[in-house]
Each structure stands twice: as structure tokens, then as C-alpha cells.
Amino acid sequence: MSRLEGFPPIAVAGAHTLILGSMPGAASLAAVEYYAHPRNHFWPIIGAVLGIDPALPYAERTRRLAEAGYALWDVLGACRRAGSLDSNIRADSIEVNDFATFFARHPAIDRVFCNGTAAEQCFRRHVRPAIAERFDFTLRRLPSTSPANASVPYPAKLAAWREIAR
């Protein structure tokens, strides 16, 4: 099982909202793009909620997302995992991203939305205790947009994700 490394954050000065995944899946790592799996609902939901066309080239989608005040990142910077499922992440291999520096550079962020349970649990366990005294923000879990979360239908995911709109 090889060590997987995530991506740098997508964020601009003045970002007000951070959307966090756990760790990019195999399709995303291969494409070097957040949420690249063709059945992942992330970009269609962002399109419906924020008006960013999911058919746009990736660079344009991420630019528009950032310019709208949304930052995108993952809780984990690296880990060992077989396949793409969060449940396959080896707990002893978790390397958390540097959130103290990130939040210091993006002080306007006042909301953090976790894309699924794994992202939320990992953030609460490994990140929040270390930064709780320095940063105050709303932390919410939204249903995972992953195709592995097939028990939640797209309309329900979309309804929950509407919360990110300012």
C-alpha cells in the first residue's frame, strides 16, 4: 500500500467558507483534480447551488468557486489507503494538513462544511482540538457527494448542500 498525497487548497484571500473532503479518491488523484470521479455529485451540486456550470473546464470551475469566496481542501494531506474508500484509510498513516497556517492566512473563514462523515470525524478528532482556541467558526457535516454514498439520493444531497449558499 503506497503513501497517497493530497492536493494543496484552492482558496483566495477573503474566502468565507471552507469545504473539506477527507482525501482525494483514486480518480481524483489520477486526474489531479478535486472530485474528478464522473459519478461524484460534488460539481453538479455546486452547479445547482452556486451557479458554476459543472461542464466548464476544471480550472475555470475552481477559479469561480474561489472567487465566490469558497475554499476547497481535504483534512488529510497524506495517508495509506487501498482503493478510494475512506473506510480503507489506515489510521496509523494519517497525516493532517496544516490548518493552523491555513486559517491564519484566511481569517475571514467563518464556516466549514465537511463533505461526509469521514471528513467531519477526522477534522473533529485531529484538527479541531489543536485550533479551537484560535479560531471560531461553524462546523457542519453534509452528506457525502461520493458515489459510494448511494443510500442518499441526489435530491436529498442537493437539498442539504443548499446550506452552503450565502
CA dihedral 159, 160, 161, 166 (to 10 degrees): 90
Gap between the Cα atoms of 46 and 116, Å rounded: 15
HSE of 145, CA atoms in CB hemisphere, 13 A: 27
Q: How is residue 123 written as a grid cell?
A: 477534522
Q: For Cα atoms 142, 14, 37, give the angle at the middle one, nearest 5 degrees.
A: 40
Q: Annotated catalytic, 40?
A: yes
Q: Which residues are catalytic?
A: 40
